[in-house]
Chains A and B, each alone.
Chain A
Amino acid sequence: MTRSMIETRDLSKRYGETYAVRNLNLNVQPGRITAFLGLNGAGKSTTIRMLLGMIRPSEGGGHILGYRLEDPDENVALRKDVAFVSEDKRLYPYMTVAQMLHFTRGFFPAWRDDLAETLLRKYELPPGRKVRHLSKGMRTKLALILAIARRPKLLILDEPSEGLDPRGTEQLLETLTSECAEGTTVFFSSHQIEEVERISDQICVIHRGTLVMDAAVDELRQSWRRVDIVMPWAPKPEDFQMRGVEKIRTRGQQVSVVVSENTDGVVERAREAGANAIEVAPLNLRELFLRTIEE
Chain B
Amino acid sequence: MLWYKAWLETRTRFLIALAGMTALGAWRTYNLSHMMPAWTGASYYYFVLREAHDLLNPMFVLATTLLLMGGLLQEKSNGPALFTLGLPVSRGRLMSAQIGMGLLEGIVLLAVPWAAICITVVLTGPMRPGNLAVFYAMVTASGGAVFAGVSLLASSLIEGTYTAPIVSLGVAFLCVNAPKSWAAVNPSEFMGARAWLDRSNMLTGPWPWGQAAAFLAVAAALIWTSIKVIEKRDF
- Contact for A92 among B9, B86, B88, B231, CB less than 8 A: B9
Q: How far is the CA of A73 from the CA of B89 in the complex (A)?
A: 9
Q: Could you tell me the distance in whole angstroms from the C-beta of B51 to the nearest C-beta in chain A?
A: 36
Mark contacts of A83-107 with chain B using CB atoms, 8 A cut-off: 1 yes-contact digit, 0 otherwise. 1101010111111000100111011
Q: How far is the CA of A93 from the CA of B78 in the complex (A)?
A: 9
Q: Could you tell me the distance in whole angstroms from the C-beta of A170 to the nearest C-beta in chain B?
A: 24
Q: How far is the CA of A80 from the CA of B87 in the complex (A)?
A: 7
- Taking the complex as formed, is B8 at the interface, i.e. its CB lies under 8 A from any CB of chain A? yes
Question: Known contacts A76-B90, A80-B88, A90-B83; is A106 also within 8 Å of B1 by CB?
Answer: yes
B231 engages A84 (CB within 8 Å): no
A83 engages B86 (CB within 8 Å): yes
User: Which label, helix, strand, loop or mixed, suits the secondary structure of the B interface?
Assistant: helix
Q: Could you tell me the distance in whole angstroms from the C-beta of A75 to the nearest C-beta in chain B?
A: 9
Closest to A84 in B: B86
Q: How far is the CA of A92 from the CA of B91 in the complex (A)?
A: 17
A77 engages B88 (CB within 8 Å): yes
Count residues of chain B with CB under 8 A from any CB of chain A: 22
- Taking the complex as formed, is A186 at the interface, i.e. its CB lies under 8 A from any CB of chain B? no
- Taking the complex as formed, is B82 at the interface, i.e. its CB lies under 8 A from any CB of chain A? yes
B5 partner residues in chain A, CB cutoff 8 A: 92, 95, 103
- Taking the complex as formed, is A208 at the interface, i.e. its CB lies under 8 A from any CB of chain B? no
Closest to B9 in A: A94
Closest to B4 in A: A103
B91 partner residues in chain A, CB cutoff 8 A: 72
B82 engages A107 (CB within 8 Å): no
A103 partner residues in chain B, CB cutoff 8 A: 1, 4-5
- Taking the complex as formed, is A143 at the interface, i.e. its CB lies under 8 A from any CB of chain B? yes
Q: How far is the CA of A54 from the CA of B72 in the complex (A)?
A: 11
Q: Could you tell me the distance in whole angstroms from the C-beta of B78 to the nearest C-beta in chain A?
A: 7
Q: How far is the CA of A117 from the CA of B12 in the complex (A)?
A: 29
B86 engages A86 (CB within 8 Å): yes
Closest to B231 in A: A72
Q: Could you tell me the distance in whole angstroms from the C-beta of A49 to the nearest C-beta in chain B?
A: 7
- Taking the complex as formed, is B198 at the interface, i.e. its CB lies under 8 A from any CB of chain A? no
A79 engages B87 (CB within 8 Å): yes
A54 engages B85 (CB within 8 Å): yes
User: Which label, helix, strand, loop or mixed, suits the secondary structure of the A interface?
Assistant: loop
Closest to A131 in B: B80
B90 partner residues in chain A, CB cutoff 8 A: 72-73, 76
Closest to B79 in A: A90
- Taking the complex as formed, is A55 at the interface, i.e. its CB lies under 8 A from any CB of chain B? yes
B86 engages A90 (CB within 8 Å): no
B80 engages A76 (CB within 8 Å): no
A245 partner residues in chain B, CB cutoff 8 A: none
Closest to A95 in B: B8
- Taking the complex as formed, is A247 at the interface, i.e. its CB lies under 8 A from any CB of chain B? no
B83 partner residues in chain A, CB cutoff 8 A: 84, 86, 90-92, 143, 146
Interface members, chain B 179-235 (any A CB < 8 Å): 231-232, 234-235
Question: Known contacts A73-B90, A92-B9, A106-B1; is A52 also within 8 Å of B85 by CB?
Answer: yes
B residues neighboring A (CB under 8 Å): 1, 4-5, 8-9, 12, 78-80, 82-83, 85-91, 231-232, 234-235
Instruction: Taking A80-B88, A86-B82 as given, write out 10 further A-B residue pairs in contact, using a Cβ cutoff of 8 Å, ordered by the A residue number.
Output: A76-B90, A79-B86, A82-B86, A88-B79, A88-B82, A93-B79, A94-B12, A102-B4, A106-B1, A106-B4
What are 11 contact pairs spanning A and B, CB under 8 A? A76-B89, A79-B88, A80-B88, A84-B83, A86-B83, A88-B82, A94-B12, A103-B1, A103-B4, A104-B87, A107-B89
A residues neighboring B (CB under 8 Å): 49, 52-56, 72-73, 76-77, 79-80, 82-84, 86, 88, 90-95, 99, 102-104, 106-108, 143, 146
| In the A-B complex, the 5 residue pairs with the closest CB atoms | A90-B79, A106-B1, A86-B82, A84-B86, A79-B88
